[in-house]
Amino acid sequence: NKEVGLDFIRAIVADDLATGKHAQIVTRFPPEPNGYLHLGHVKSICLNFGIAAETNGLCNLRFDDTNPAAELQEYIDNIEKDVKWLGFDWNGDVRHASSYFGQLYDWAIQLIKQGDAYVDLQSVEEIRLNRGDFNQAGTDSPFRNHTVEENLALFAKMKNGEFEAGSAVLRAKIDMASPNVHMRDPVLYRILNVEHHQTGDEWVIYPMYDYAHPLGDAIEEITHSLCTLEFEDHRPFYDWVIAKVNTPAKPRQIEFSRLNVDYTLTSKRKLKKLVDDGVVNGWDDPRMPTVAGMRRRGFTPEGLRDFCHRVGVSKNDGIVDVGLLEFCIRQSIENVAPRGMAVLRPLKVTLTNLPQAMTLKHARHPNVDLGEREIPLTQEIYIDRADFEEVPPKGFKRLVPEGEVRLRHAYVIRCDEVIKDTAGNVIELQCSIDPDTLGKNPEGRKVKGVIQWVSASAGVPAEVRIYDRLFNNADPEEGDDFMQNVNPNSRTILQAIIEPSLAEAQPGDRFQFEREGYFIADEKDHTTAKPVFNRILDLKDSWKG
């Protein structure tokens, strides 16, 4: 297919529709419910659901729940929530590989009868050693030539719980000398004396992922089974299973490169360790690259989808600049987030000559009609400590003793007096307004700096959580232990004062705090009585295209 702009997978799909190989495309997103979804999964979700949507096809959501020891209903519930939040809907009901266990078992019996599978009574360790490696062919199991009848009897004993876990497995009978290690009689079933979240104690034998996955795809008549590159070596076995069982549907596995983003860890196992060790406050901590964490952080589904679109799909492994993700998120928020003023490190300012309290009215957004808000101006206000310097560094454009600055949306003020406590800390500034500067420039001089401020009496206290990168290293896995690369200062909590219009926020509402960045009212902890905001991102864009 020569259509421009199609990635290699979409080109294959378009061909298969054009040639009539398939009348309708069916894809699936197949997570193992052993953790929360992360940024890497978002790529796979956008690809699978995206192709279905673009071709008027279908995309299933299937839990590949073949390893009950690591799986939880909590994970299932959150994966469903995350996929919906990203803006996708699956075909029909959610599916579970475990609901195919009966069928998979019958097909295992079929493989035994065909002479394509046998029960191996070697220990786990012996099986591992006899598999050989890259340089060395494997060694046949002494049990490899059991008769069909012996294998059927042994497999029945496995199923009936008459073997200890680890003392018997069912293996495919392929080729112990294959150059592809995955073709050296891979295990099809193992014994696990573990309750399953869906099937309870019905089974003590569980199919291996590599056996269940192609057959789950075939049962669901998946046309294109998209997975990441590390499964390329598993494809011959995928095709072997489909061919030997001879399912009516013959799904085609296609591999694409994983999403890797700098400063970002995308491995459920390692993310779980951050949660288990208390490095973060749960899977949905706003520093986590999980969908739940990114949602709570304030990232948008639109921004995440745009990011995946821009990253594209290929077979080239590369590392994507996290600046691109941040750029996409900012873009998605910029024109929908109302603006307001918040002072994150309050310093009291008294406007000595303000004749009376007043209410200013300003647009909530400079370019988009999001309505107006009222901004009370009172004699006592707060400005940010960082906007005043007693001994200013060169080029400092904000407030200094005897200097002037504009209060955003209000007057130009002059700092007349600096008040300190006994320890010498600045605790208050006494300033005077220039009454002729509301909405116009001062006469005869230029005032360059503009700073945000909030009325002391009308402003509302709010907890503001500032997040930084969770890892100091561009490659979080650099060195022997990724835990050593964790940034110990990835969260700072500030007691801020916000303008009243911001205090109307509902959990999940996003804003731009002028000059500070984008913020979201925390989905769990925010109430109008006790506002809590997370900084989504600052305003500085590092993405250079």
State the residues that interact with ligand ATP by CB under 6 A: 30-32, 40-41, 43-44, 227-228, 258-259, 266-269
| Least separation in angstroms between CB 504 and ligand ATP | 39
Beta pairing partners, 225 = 253
Does the annotation list 259 as a binding residue? yes
Q: Using the minimum distance from each CB to ligand ATP, give the nearer residue, 35 or 531.
A: 35
Query: CA-CA distances (angstroms) from residue 476 to 82, 94, 269, 484, 487?
Result: 24, 34, 14, 9, 10
| Least separation in angstroms between CB 82 and ligand ATP | 12
Q: Using the minimum distance from each CB to ligand ATP, give the nearer residue, 30 or 57.
A: 30
Q: Using the minimum distance from each CB to ligand ATP, give the nearer residue, 47 or 399.
A: 47
Which residue's CB atom is positioned nearest to ligand ATP?
Answer: 40
Q: Which of 362, 97, 389, 379 is nearest to 214 (CA)?
A: 97
- What stretches of 312-447 show up as alpha helix (H) in DSSP? 322-334
Does the annotation list 487 as a binding residue? no
Structure tokens at 11: 């080109």
| Least separation in angstroms between CB 128 and ligand ATP | 21
Q: Has 255 been annotated as catalytic?
A: no
Catalytic, out of 32, 80, 389, 504: 32
Does the annotation list 463 as a binding residue? no
Does the annotation list 207 as a binding residue? no
Q: Has 445 been annotated as catalytic?
A: no
Q: Has 504 been annotated as catalytic?
A: no
d(CA 378, CA 384): 16
Catalytic, out of 268, 296, 406, 510: 268
Does the annotation list 367 as a binding residue? no
Structure tokens at 162: 């008459």
Place of tokens 């959990």: 507
Q: Using the minimum distance from each CB to ligand ATP, give the nearer residue, 79 or 241.
A: 79
Does the annotation list 64 as a binding residue? yes
Catalytic, out of 258, 273, 364, 397: 258
Query: CA-CA distances (angstroms) from residue 518 to 84, 162, 383, 504, 526?
Result: 24, 61, 19, 16, 16
Query: CA-CA distances (angstroms) from residue 120 to 110, 137, 171, 192?
Result: 17, 18, 7, 16
> β-strands 532-537, 460-467: how paired?
parallel
Structure tokens at 218: 């075939």
* CA angle (390, 391, 396) in 5-degree steps: 95
Place of tokens 């290699």: 8
Q: Using the minimum distance from each CB to ligand ATP, give the nearer residue, 172 or 259.
A: 259
Does the annotation list 210 as a binding residue? no
| Least separation in angstroms between CB 224 and ligand ATP | 12
| Least separation in angstroms between CB 392 and ligand ATP | 47
* CA angle (50, 51, 57) in 5-degree steps: 110
- List residues forming the annotated binding site: 32-34, 64, 209, 228, 258-259
- List residues forming the annotated binding site for ATP: 32-34, 228, 258-259
Which residues have a catalytic role annotated? 32, 258, 268
- List residues forming the annotated binding site for L-glutamine: 64, 209
